[in-house]
Amino acid sequence: MNRLYSLKRILTFIIAFAVTAGIAGSSYNSSLKITSADTESSQGEDYSYTESVTDGGQKSDEQTENDDNSQEESTGFDITQYAEQLRELSKKQTEINEQLDKYDEDIEKSEKKQKLLKEKIDSINDEIDVLNSYMTALELQINTNQRNIDKKQAEINKGIEDFKQRLRAMYIAGSDSYTTMLLESDSFYDILMRLELIKRVAHHDDTIIDNLIKLKTEYEDMQKTLDKQKAEYDAQYTQYTQQKDMLSQLYRSSTKTQQELKAKQKKLREQNEAYEAEREQFEGSLSGILKSSGSGGTARDNEVSATMALADVKLEELHKEINDRLDKGEKLGDTEPDYYFAWPVPGAYSVSSGVGARWGSYHTGLDIPAAHGTPIHASCSGKVIKINTTCTHDYGKEESCGCGGGYGNYVIIDHGNEFITLYGHLTEVDVEIGDEVKKGDVIGKMGSTGFSTGDHLHIEIRYQGYILNPAFYLDVTQ
């Protein structure tokens, strides 16, 4: 986005100056200094004005001497080097901030992954606890069944032993023992009783054998069920344990990755703080140059270069903040500035004079000529903080009428963060002090009030009260 904006600014500069055959159109020259009582934020503050308006005649001896002194002072200092170093530091900070944003995203993803892994580990631990509880209950049941089986087994063993004794006795007595017992009966009734006894003994023997077989079958079935349950438990326990170990390993790996990311993030933050300190040092040096700069062309050029270096860094920060908000789905307010400055006179792209030394003074803005009454649009959203509507000298003139400090009828808009725009030589002012305006709103009509040789708009962009070169900031595509 910033790169595209830079290309648009270069395109604006080319269009603005390619059509300029020479310095003509406006005779207004001013070193108007606009400063805010509050350097933290210029939004809504009162401004003081110091004016130095001169005509287009020959420079005085004192002015020439001042210019010469300023040029001599500038030979020992390269403002471009400071400005470029400041821009380079800002670029490095931007790159670091982008890396920090990426690390923040990676850390956030890692933390989410860790949270999911922790939830899975906790879930598996819960399942293992349930399984352990089930197996504990199962083991208690198995132990109870085992005791019952052992008791039955003892009964079976005793029955088998008794049955063995009977078989042994029957073997000794011979195979005809039942027949002999019947033949020795005294009566038919005795025979019936002995037959019933034989039958009961045989039935008892059958019952004992059947019970032994049944108990053996039940025991084997219970043992199979128990073995199957133990096998399932072992398989599940092994599976859960393996899964838990795998998740724990992933969790440890994720923790290590997160620690590495945080270490890199800390290193980048320290590097960013070092760049910030170095940048503040350069900004302090540039601010000192601004305060000590003279009024000559070279000194004022240095002032503009230094201010633009500071403004570029601030604009880059503001653009990043705005883009971050937009990426999060936020929207700018209707009158909230985006700090991209639109061309104020759509359809009129000729420039008759730019920023620089001219006719014994220093021209502080961009002059855009067009037909009388052409609508003038706000270059960026903001709040109207000052206007002048008292000038009635709406015609071309060779000297200043003194109205509005040479600007004639004008509008000043505060865009916050110490950025303002000024629109001068208007024939009509269509806004009031305190109005909130949007980019593109009509704020007045083009005229030739104040120190002006013909109909044109004089536009200034200032940062911290110091002038910027509008040719590098106004976007003809907006």
382 in Cβ contact with 414 (< 8 Å): yes
User: Residue 246 and residue 142: Cα distance in Å, rounded?
Assistant: 33
Q: Side chain identity at 211, as an amino acid letter?
A: N
Which helix (H) or strand (E) is 291 found in, with range? helix 188-292
Name every residue whose Cβ is closer than 8 Å to that of residue 355 and which is 6 or more positions away in sequence.
304, 363, 364, 365, 366, 467, 469, 470, 471
The whole-angstrom distance between residue 37's C-alpha and the CA centroid of its chain comes to 34
Q: What Å distances lie between residue 311 and 14, 317, 355, 437, 469, CA to CA?
A: 21, 10, 16, 22, 11
What DSSP designation does 403 have?
Answer: G
How much is the mean pLDDT over the chain?
A: 73
335 in Cβ contact with 411 (< 8 Å): no
376 in Cβ contact with 423 (< 8 Å): yes
Name every residue whose Cβ is closer than 8 Å to that of residue 269 and which is 6 or more positions away in sequence.
100
475 in Cβ contact with 341 (< 8 Å): yes
How many Cβ atoms are within 10 Å of 160's Cβ, its own excluded?
13
- The region of weakest confidence among 61-70, 117-126, 273-282, 362-371 is 61-70
Q: In percent, how much of the chain has pLDDT > 70?
A: 65
Per-residue pLDDT tens digits for 281-328:
766 665 565 555 444 456 677 778 888 888 888 898 899 899 989 988
263 in Cβ contact with 150 (< 8 Å): no
Could you tell me if residue 417 is left (phi over 0), alpha (psi between -120 and 50 degrees) or otherwise beta?
Answer: left
User: Looking at per-residue confidence, does 93 or 130 come out higher?
Assistant: 130
Q: Side chain identity at 423, as an amino acid letter?
A: Y
The pLDDT value recorded for residue 365 is: 93
The pLDDT value recorded for residue 367 is: 95
- The region of weakest confidence among 293-307, 313-327, 406-420, 441-455 is 293-307
455 φ/ψ angles, rounded to the nearest 5 degrees: -65, 125
Per-residue pLDDT tens digits for 100-130:
778 778 777 777 877 887 787 788 778 777 7
- Nearest-10 crossing angle of helices 297-327, 2-18: 140
User: Looking at per-residue confidence, does 73 or 453 come out higher?
Assistant: 453
The pLDDT value recorded for residue 460 is: 97
The pLDDT value recorded for residue 193 is: 67
Angle at 205 between CA 199 and CA 209, to 5 degrees: 145
- Nearest-10 crossing angle of helices 79-173, 297-327: 20
Name every residue whose Cβ is closer than 8 Å to that of residue 173 and which is 6 or more positions away in sequence.
none
Q: Which 3 state secondary structure label does DSSP give 418?
A: coil
What mean pLDDT comes out for the span 405-427?
96
User: Residue 303 and residue 295: Cα distance in Å, rounded?
Assistant: 10
Which tokens sit at 457? 């708009």
Give the confidence band of 239 by pLDDT, cuts at 50, 70, 90: confident
Give the confidence band of 257 by pLDDT, cuts at 50, 70, 90: confident
Domains of the chain, start order: 2-52+335-475 (2.70.70.10), 77-294 (1.10.287)
pLDDT at 432 over 90: yes
The pLDDT value recorded for residue 154 is: 78
Name every residue whose Cβ is closer than 8 Å to that of residue 53 and which is 6 or more positions away in sequence.
28, 29, 30, 361, 400, 405, 406, 451
Q: In percent, how much of the chain has pLDDT > 90?
A: 25
The pLDDT value recorded for residue 430 is: 98
Per-residue pLDDT tens digits for 326-360:
988 998 888 899 999 999 999 998 899 888 887 67
- The region of weakest confidence among 177-191, 232-246, 340-354, 394-408 is 177-191
Measure the N-to-C terminal CA separation of the chain; round to a whole number of Å. Answer: 14
- The region of weakest confidence among 64-78, 123-137, 142-156 is 64-78
User: Residue 354 and residue 364: Cα distance in Å, rounded?
Assistant: 8
The pLDDT value recorded for residue 410 is: 98
